[in-house]
Amino acid sequence: MSSTKVSRRNFIVKTGFISASVTLFPSLIPVKSFGISPSFNQKIFVSTNFVNGGGKVTIQDEELNIIRISAHDEGEGGWSKIWWHFMVAGINLKDEIILELELGAGANNQLFFSYDQKNWGLTNAGEIKSIDDKDFIVVKHIIRGEKTWFSYDLPYTPEHINAILAEKVKTYPDIKTLDFCKTKKGRQVSAFLLKNTGPDSDFKYGIWLQARAHAFESGSSWVLHELMCWLMSNGTEAKALRSISQIFILPIVDVDSVVEGRTGKNQKPHDHNRGWDKESSFWPEMTESKLQLAQWAKNGKMDLFIDFHGPGNSSHPYFIVPLAKDLSSAKQRQNRLNFFQSLDARPINEMNKLTQSMTQFYFSERVEIKGKENAVKWVNENTTDNVVSLTLEVNMGTPLSTQSGYRAEAIALGEAISKYFINKHHQK
């Protein structure tokens, strides 16, 4: 897949669903009416009535095919107002559609689009314009299908887990699909456990990887998805890591918000990356995670924790970490330093933010803010004295942020994790 900007006239950036029939994603196929009954004179219509559909979408001008998009808002604007994903139909082939995306936090000037919800491309870059005293990113796109889906970022839903990962692991006896817990609204949260079951099945290290505590950060699920595929491969580094570790993978933490097409971040009473200090967790996903993490720590097998996020930035993937002096032990400080060296991760600054990459990692040390206790801080303070606990910000919203880009990022990370543990850079 090319890392250059994709022309709307040339279209397709493949996302890797070629082997997966659309019938594997039944709720990604829109309802026949698309949730809207167009009037007799209505030329075009839009819908968010499908899994992960969200945001406010209005037809501004049917004759000129102008559609306005406002992201879903958890109630506070800013980073609470990010996600949108919709379908449009009724526009003639080769006609131009004009999309007016309300400018806000995390807004991208290239939009993801698809004509089948399997293959996704990036539109040409839009322009910032002031319309009716508000700022918008205005994107023009030539329609090449009877229906077109547009999205804030490359969509990733529970159906990707069920139709791709869960099907793939059926051929691996040493990988278990877990019914991790039920959400507040009764939806299943699925996870996977990779554990060596061979002659030397006693593992030495425990690795916990999770994504999507904030529902709009779909790129984080894609990186973890691709990392799991790499971990299941027959590559030397992947096999070596599997032989000495137990690896837990949770591709989507906030399933309810993802399915309902909500932003997730800053939802009430707190989102899934806040409130970890509270004794009684509001979210079942958090309760179950804390119970299992505590058990892993009790057994001395909690060595690496990575919480995958991705708010969108035109930079590199980078880790947000507490100041070294604020870590609980000297072992944590040394292990984190060793891990960053294995990954060749460097301190991020304004100069290296000017370039983009999917495989060069950086890190940003920050003072922890009281009242915003998150998963990484809880793991640092409540598991083992040797744990490496990190927040990874995958770089969503760039021309490189396609499935092939996310795959490259995942493999670079996987190889570094293997190098770190296999070469015994981790102090127990």
Positive or negative, the Cα torsion across 316, 214, 165, 194? Answer: positive
Closest CA to 195 of 173, 227, 171: 173
Residues 40 and 31 sit within 8 Å (Cβ to Cβ): no
**Which tokens in the block code for residue 335?**
């292990």
- Annotated active-site residue in 237, 285, 393, 415: 393
CA pair distance 394, 399, nearest whole angstrom: 13
Q: Which residues of 207-217 are buried (b: 16+ CB within 10 A; e: fewer)?
A: bbbbbbbbbbb
Q: Name the residue among 313, 317, 327 with its Cα closest to residue 407.
A: 317
Catalytic-residue membership of 393: yes
Burial of 58 (0-12, 13-18, 19+ CB in 10 A): exposed
Distance CA 86, CA 81 (A): 16
- Residue 36 CA, chain-centre distance (Å), reads 30
Half-sphere exposure of 108 (CA within 13 A, CB side): 26
Q: How many CB atoms lie within 10 A of CB 350?
A: 6
Task: Specify whether the CB–CB gap between 267 and 74 falls below 8 A.
Answer: yes
- Asked whether 55 and 86 are in contact (CB, 8 A), the reply is yes
Judge whether 50 and 30 are in contact, CB under 8 Å.
yes
Q: Which residues are catalytic?
A: 393
